[in-house]
């Protein structure tokens, strides 16, 4: 009886963890501002700044709007993305808004800017999408969803082992009772 209860609890717990990680998926957009570097010319105040926007969630993000504000005029922009970039809008020489219709899970887009400034080139980054807002990422993110299925299977196997042990003990108890009874 205890083994059956333990199995049911184990199966429901394992299934609950699996379902949460696999079916309640939402996009999670994170962005990184990489450390800038100056161009080698000693008289130049131009710096290269890179912003990387990633979807680290488990679902596609739609309607992305990325706004990058710089401390000086932007002299060049390079976009590296496998996703479609619909529009680049310059509010002035120091503010750029990039629109993307989607960013699928485990994908990223990088924006390399050439900025004329003695200060840090990127002042602010805002990422907004249909499902929420982006967050700044400073460290490497570990993806727990990649361990969902093996964890579920491990819990399921442990439940079966518990049932087997319980059934073996119950069979021994029944055998002893029948030996004692006339």
Same-domain check for residues 15 and 44: no
What is the per-residue pLDDT for 3? 75
What is the per-residue pLDDT for 139? 44
Residue 118 counted as domain residue: yes
Residue 81 counted as domain residue: yes
Contact (Cβ atoms closer than 8 angstroms) between residue 86 and residue 146: no
Overall number of domains in the chain = 2
What is the per-residue pLDDT for 42? 73
Burial 163-179 (b: 16+ CB within 10 A, else e): beebeeeeeeeeeeeee
pLDDT digits (tens, 9 = 90+) for 67-124: 999 999 998 899 999 898 887 888 888 899 999 999 998 999 999 999 998 888 999 9
Q: Is the pLDDT confidence value at 145 over 70?
A: no
Same-domain check for residues 14 and 47: no
Residue 100 domain boundaries:
29-130
Contact (Cβ atoms closer than 8 angstroms) between residue 6 and residue 159: yes
pLDDT digits (tens, 9 = 90+) for 37-59: 888 877 678 899 999 999 988 88
Same-domain check for residues 105 and 159: no
Region label for 42, one of left (φ > 0), alpha (ψ between -120 and 50) or beta (otherwise)? alpha
Q: CA 92, 39, 100 angle in degrees (round to 5)?
A: 45
Residue 16 counted as domain residue: yes
């Amino acid at each position: 009886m205890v083994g059956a209860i333990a199995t049911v609890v184990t199966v429901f717990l394992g299934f609950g963890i699996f379902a949460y990680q696999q079916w309640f998926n939402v996009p999670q957009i994170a962005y990184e501002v990489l450390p800038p570097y100056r161009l080698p010319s000693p008289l130049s105040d131009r710096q290269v700044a890179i912003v990387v926007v990633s979807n680290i969630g488990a679902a596609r993000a739609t309607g992305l709007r990325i706004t990058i504000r710089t401390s000086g005029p932007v002299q060049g922009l390079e976009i590296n993305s496998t996703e479609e970039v619909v529009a680049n809008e310059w509010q002035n020489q120091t503010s750029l808004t990039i629109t993307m219709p989607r960013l699928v899970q485990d994908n990223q887009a990088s924006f390399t800017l050439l900025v004329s400034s003695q200060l840090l080139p990127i002042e602010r980054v805002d990422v907004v999408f249909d499902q929420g807002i982006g967050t700044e990422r400073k460290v490497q993110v570990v993806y727990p969803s990649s361990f969902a299925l093996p964890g579920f299977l491990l819990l399921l196997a442990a439940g079966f082992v518990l049932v087997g042990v319980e059934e073996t003990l119950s069979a021994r108890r029944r055998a002893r009772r029948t030996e004692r009874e006339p």
